[in-house]
Amino acid sequence: MKTATRTLRIGHQVYDLGVQPLIMGILNLTPDSFYEGSRLGLGQMLDIAAQMLADGATILDLGGYSTRPGAADVSEQAELDRVLPAIEAINQHLPNAVISIDTFRASVAKVAVRAGAMMVNDVSGGQADPDMLGYVAAAKVPYVLMHSRGTPATMQSLAQYQDLTYEVVQELRGQLAQLHALGHYEVLIDPGFGFAKTIDQNYQLLAQLRDLELLGCPILVGLSRKSMAYRPLGITAPEALNATTVLHTLALQNGAGMLRVHDVKPAAEAIRIWQLYQPYHRG
């Protein structure tokens, strides 16, 4: 079995995600994010970004295009109009923040990186834009390669698998091979919870998360307040913080090295408790 690396270089900093899992704080600059509490205006965004950093986030993930199931299309210019002022404001007021641009468009990623973003988080895994993988390799920026199928409008009809985890790994392997052929190795793997997967499939994938280590990359998980946390409990996304923390703990125990979250302080506390537990764990 290939040994998964746990290190990630962002700019001049190298992080060991096996020792210190990182937190990526979600900043949705959209009017229709699935979680209403993360829909932000610019002034509010800056205050929340500062609090996220104080609470333990290393990375701020800025998105101007909602990828919730059934989300409407947004033009490239509208996406840029949402994210660029935020990047500029964070660079000016929070210069130590690591900014990630959450986009599947290479053109948006390029402008965002020029403006100060340091990594790219692509929910399509390079499938939505044929120029994306070539761009991130040329720019030498860390890249989150996420598993998904179809588009936000169609993905829930594409959740048919014969062998879920095997197929997720194989589908990601193809995009990862393209990046490696381009000489790019600063890659995080995201299994894409909720993207072309049922709730039961999400839980199966979470239990088998270590199988993704076959790809040799650190693992990022996006579990925060998703339907797998609240629907089985008969609650709503705003009520799903406790369930999210349980999911984060399970993900850490199963090999996750980065948590993408709405609520940074509880995630940081989960990481700390997990770290205290690890020296005594016999698994």
| Amino acid at position 16, single letter | D
260 catalytic? Reply is yes
Amino acid at 53: L
Per the residue annotation, which of 6, 82, 105, 260 is the catalytic one? Answer: 260
Q: Compute the distance between CA of residue 224 and CA of residue 243 in angstroms, rounded to an integer.
A: 9
For residue 77, count CB atoms less than 10 angstroms from its CB and return exposed for 0-12, middle for 13-18, buried for 19 or more. Answer: exposed
Q: How far apart are CA 68 and CA 35, in angstroms?
A: 9
Catalytic residue among 68, 149, 226, 231: 226
Q: Give the integer Cα–Cα distance in Å for 149 and 123.
A: 10
Q: DSSP for 137-164, please give it.
A: HHHT--EEEE---S-TTTGGG----SSH
What whole-number distance in Å separates Cα of residue 273 and Cα of residue 280? 12
Whether the Cβ atoms of residue 121 and residue 102 lie closer than 8 Å to each other: yes
226 counts as catalytic? yes
Give the three-state DSSP class for 223. Answer: coil
- Angle value at C-alpha 28, between 264 and 130, nearest 5 degrees: 115
| Active-site annotation, residues | 226, 260
